[in-house]
Amino acid sequence: MSGGRILGIYAVLYLIFLYAPIVLLPIFAFNDATIIAFPLSGFSTRWFEALWGNAALGDAVGNSLFIAAMTAILSTLLGICAARAGAMADFPGKSGILGFVMLPLVLPEIIIAVSLLIVLRQVLDMQLSNWTVIAAHTLLCTPFSIAILNGAFQNLDPSIEEGAMDLGESRWGAFCSVVLPLVMPGIVSSLLIAFTISLDEFIIAFFLTGSNPTMPVYIWGLLRFPQQLPVVMALGTILVALSIVLLAIAEFYRRRGLARAGLKDSGGFL
């Protein structure tokens, strides 16, 4: 057997390892038993029905959607600024500043959580709310937005913008008529990625959430009650389906952006 074949088999096994937990999710979500274990009992949609009538969960989902939407918008706006600055001419301290802005990517999340908690609670004595979570999530998501938007901005031929200005557009006009349409796919995928990260983030949200829990914080609470677990499975199934749809859209836009710029696909979000 050739080396390529062995590697191929290994890669497929690795994919199975990656997908194993996710495959279990719908199995137990539709399983007609309270205990999450084999053997299976039979098909049921009652866990999904139970989700429907859960007002506390509804509130948590509402909070999370609001937080995720605000985070997506803020981090994408900050990402656009940084990516555009990064694509433009050098300025003093450029790499240092850009590196610092990207720092949350490699910082343990608990450090971000702890430091913000200290400032908000102990220094400023603020009430924790959805906005404290949004502030932290924006910090966390901005590096991802920058990474995605960097691709979009750096693929852009700088003379395209100069071309538009040369043909009579002002600086702002050139940005709107040429740059924005060309980086729009990057903006859309940045929005979606930041939204997805924020929606799922737990470690920071657990520290900074106020009296209204976010969805992951609510799920964390449910995990302690064995009889609630099938409901969590049902919720997880819906979330996974949603994530995949959002990601597929993000990927679609990313590829369209590449096609528009007439570039080869070099793969990956990061």
33-62 binders of another protein (CB under 8 A)? 35-39
Q: Contact 132/163 with Cβ under 8 angstroms?
A: no
Q: Find the angle CA(125)-CA(130)-CA(134) to the nearest 5 degrees.
A: 95
Among positions 93-152, residues that touch another protein (CB under 8 A) are 94, 97-98, 100-101, 103-112, 114-119, 121-123, 135-136, 138-139, 142, 146
Q: Which of 51, 67, 82, 188 binds another protein (CB under 8 A)?
A: 82
How is residue 81 written in tokens? 């600024």
Minimum CB separation from another protein for residue 43, in Å? Answer: 18
Q: Contact 199/68 with Cβ under 8 angstroms?
A: yes
Q: Contact 204/109 with Cβ under 8 angstroms?
A: yes
Phi-psi domain of 268 (left: phi exceeds 0; alpha: psi -120 through 50; beta: other):
left
Measured from the CB atom, is 48 or 269 closer to another protein? 269
Measured from the CB atom, is 58 or 163 closer to another protein? 163
Among positions 250-269, residues that touch another protein (CB under 8 A) are 251, 255, 260-262, 265-269
List helix spans (H) across 43-157. 46-52, 55-87, 94-101, 109-117, 130-154
Q: Tell me 121's DSSP state.
A: I
Among positions 193-252, residues that touch another protein (CB under 8 A) are 196, 200-203, 206-207, 216, 219-220, 223, 229, 232-233, 235-236, 239-240, 243-244, 246-247, 251
Measured from the CB atom, is 2 or 43 closer to another protein? 2
Measured from the CB atom, is 46 or 223 closer to another protein? 223
* 159 touching another protein, by CB under 8 A: yes
Measured from the CB atom, is 30 or 216 closer to another protein? 216
Q: Which of 50, 69, 81, 128 binds another protein (CB under 8 A)?
A: 81
Measured from the CB atom, is 30 or 207 closer to another protein? 207
> Rg for the chain (alpha carbons), in Å?
22
Q: Residue-wise over 11-22: b if at least 16 C-beta within 10 A, else e?
A: eeeeeeeeeeee
Query: Which span sits near another protein by CB under 8 A: 43-51, 55-63, 65-73, 79-87?
Result: 79-87
Number of shown-chain residues binding another protein (CB under 8 A)? 114
Round to whole Å and give the CA distance between 15 and 221.
30
